[in-house]
A and B are shown apart, each in its own frame.
Chain A
Amino acid sequence: MAESLAIIDGGGANIASLTFALQRLGIKAELTTDKSVIGNADRVILPGVGAAADAMQRLKNADLVQFIKELQQPVLGICLGMQLMFDASEEEDADCLGIISGTASKFAPAKDRPVPHMGWNKVKQQNDSPLFENIDDDAYFYFVHSFALPVCDATVGMTDYGKSFTAAAEQNNFVAAQFHPERSGAAGAQLLRNFISNY
């Protein structure tokens, strides 16, 4: 039977590049807020661009907050979607889903480190996660973000941008990437493939 994959429609997020990336891997994903579709999917992706508070409000409006926390199948959070999996974000003091403990805080801008952190950066792998199977340590991934999670127990990939932050995390059935695998060339495609194959 074909893999079913649901992308949670947080509204406002541009997911064309994500659906195309999955399509290149032969996976058709459904963009939805429908609980029965999400609940029955083999895997779920929580994407997101924009502000944490707005994104949480949209999830609340769709009555998805508790529902997402209780999902049992593998769930991949990407970029803001990863930050939403943690306790909170200092971006407008937003309470997030609280699945993984930690609070996202804003990068301090510096002369040679503009904010948002935007571009290709290396990810140092931690704790031997299947998310990085067949991906070189210190491979480059593409980032676009102003807020970041500190390194914590759930960290499986970390990146330096003035400070070390969590580039990828994993806790039980929840995995997450701060970077955009759909925009990270071959390494990103492999990571998406790993999410499909290894979880």
Chain B
Amino acid sequence: MQFRNHEVVGDILALAERYRDEGADELVFYDITASPDGRTVDRQWINRVAEILDIPFSVAGGIKTLKDAEEVLNYGADKISINSPALANPDLINELVKRFGSQCVVIGIDSRDEDNSYRVYQYTGDPEKTKHSGRITANWVKEVQERGAGEIVLNCMNQDGVRNGYDLKQLSEIRSVCDVPLIASGGAGEMQHFADVFTEADADGGLAASVFHKAIIDIGDLKRFLSTQNVEIRI
């Protein structure tokens, strides 16, 4: 339910500049309505983002073909992140890796606890179309790595948007089968949650949206806090 009613949070270029200046290590741009609508993102904006950013960024949303990916990368994105299209056509992962290399292929996974195991959901951008993909999360994590994915963003749906902290239990379980960088997503509400996800779930990165968009947490403050919590981080 937490995914309903996405908010428009303002001009992406202004946000990108703000996060760059606060010291973000990487930015992810989602068009979460792209897959359910069967349309693709209008990609001109990527070039404008690349023009102002001096940190890596990835683009997620509606990347279904090699041509889509090539366009996104040529506009200056460092990585492409795919979610629903990878579930619909897993061979796409291999094709993207072969063409562009593991380093720029990120797999996004929306996962939640159901019947005592974590399961993958797809088309989570639209509550009407969100459905269980039929896959067990741990198995899918193993499969995408075998297919060459260079990074996994695990969005823990139970926690998403509620700001009660990352799903440390799920992240720890998935960490044990994930040998590529694992980025935690969903649930960050306060600085301690970030410390927890690095020290307890051993995530390689912590992704958050609303707490940064709404200026509840300043990224610079967060990084200074983390450095006092024995988390090695670029200040």
* Interface mask (B204-219 → A, CB under 8 Å = 1, otherwise 0): 1000000000000000
Interface pair B103/A20, CB less than 8 Å apart: no
Chain B's closest residue to A115 (CB) is: B102
| Chain A CB within 10 A, most for which of B25, B78, B101 | B78
The reply on B151 being an interface residue by CB < 8 A is yes
Cβ contact within 8 Å between A21 and B234? no
**B54 and A114: CB pair below 8 A?**
no
Contact of A116 among B52, B56, B102, B204 (CB under 8 A): B102
**B181: Cβ under 8 A from any A Cβ:** yes
A116-B102, A118-B150, A119-B204 known; A20+B179 contact, CB < 8 A: no
A183-B54 contact in complex given A50-B101, A118-B103, A118-B150, C-beta closer than 8 Å: yes
A146-187 contact mask (Cβ, 8 Å, vs B): 1 or 0: 100000000000000000000000000000000010111110
Interface size class of A (residues with CB under 8 A): 20 to 34
A49 to chain B: which residues have CB within 8 Å? 101
Contacting pair A142 B76 (CB below 8 A): no
Contact, CB under 8 Å: B78 / A183 = yes
Q: Given A14-B73, A14-B76, A109-B179, A188 and B54 touching (CB < 8 A)?
A: yes
Choose among A16, A118, A182 the residue that contacts B151 (Cβ–Cβ < 8 A).
A118
> Which one of B52, B56, B101, B180 has the highest number of Cβ atoms from chain A below 10 Å of its Cβ?
B56
Assembled-state Cα–Cα distance A119/B47 (Å): 22
Smallest beta-carbon distance A136→chain B, Å: 10
Tell me the smallest distance from the CB of B213 to a CB of chain A, in Å.
Answer: 21
* Chain B 183-203 interface mask (CB, 8 Å, partner A; 1/0): 000000000000000000000
From B51, B73, B181, give the contact of A23 (CB < 8 A): B51
CB distance from B54 to the nearest CB of A (A): 5
Once the chains are docked, how many angstroms separate the CA of A189 from the CA of B52? 12
B140 within 8 A of A: no
Q: Kindly identify which residue among B47, B54, B76, B101 contacts A184, using a CB–CB cutoff of 8 Å.
A: B54
What B residues does A20 contact at CB under 8 A?
50-52, 76
Shortest C-beta distance, B198 to chain A (Å), equals: 13
Query: When chains A and B are docked, how far (Å) is the Cα of A142 from the Cα of B53?
Result: 13
How would residues 120 to 152 of chain A score, 1 for a CB under 8 Å from any chain B CB and 0 otherwise?
100000000000000000001010111000000
| CB of B75 within 8 Å of the partner chain | yes
Query: B181 and A114: CB pair below 8 A?
Result: yes
Contacts of B101 in A (CB 8 A): 49-50, 116
Residues of B within 8 A of A40 (CB): none
Complex CA distance for A150 and B15, rounded to whole angstroms: 40
CB neighbours of A119 from chain B (8 A): 25, 181, 204
Note all chain A residues with C-beta closer than 8 A to B150: 116, 118
Whether B55 lies near A16 (C-beta < 8 A) is: no
Contacts of B20 in A (CB 8 A): 185
Q: Nearest chain-B residue to A50 (Cβ)? A: B101
Q: State the CA gap A180–B55 with chains docked (Å).
A: 10
Q: Name the residue of chain B whose CB is nearest to the CB of A143.
A: B103
Contact B103 A144 (CB under 8 A): yes
A15's closest neighbor in chain B, by CB?
B76
Instruction: Write out the residue numbers on chain A whose beta carbons fall within 8 Å of the beta carbon of B151.
Output: 118
Please report the C-alpha to C-alpha distance between residue A185 and residue B223 in the assembled complex, in whole angstroms: 15
- Residue in B76, B102, B180 whose CB lies within 8 Å of A17: B76
User: In the bound complex, what is the Cα–Cα distance between A144 and B102 (angstroms)?
Assistant: 10
**B74 in contact (CB, < 8 A):** yes
Q: Complex formed: what's the CA distance from A183 to B73 in Å?
A: 14
Which residues in A have their C-beta under 8 angstroms from that of B234?
120, 140, 185
- Residue of B47, B54, B75 near A189 (CB, 8 A) is B54
Additional A-B contact list (12), CB under 8 Å, known A118-B150, A185-B55: A16-B47, A17-B76, A20-B51, A114-B179, A116-B103, A116-B150, A118-B151, A118-B181, A182-B54, A183-B56, A186-B54, A188-B54
Can you name 5 A-B pairs with beta carbons within 8 Å?
Answer: A16-B50, A23-B51, A114-B181, A116-B150, A188-B54
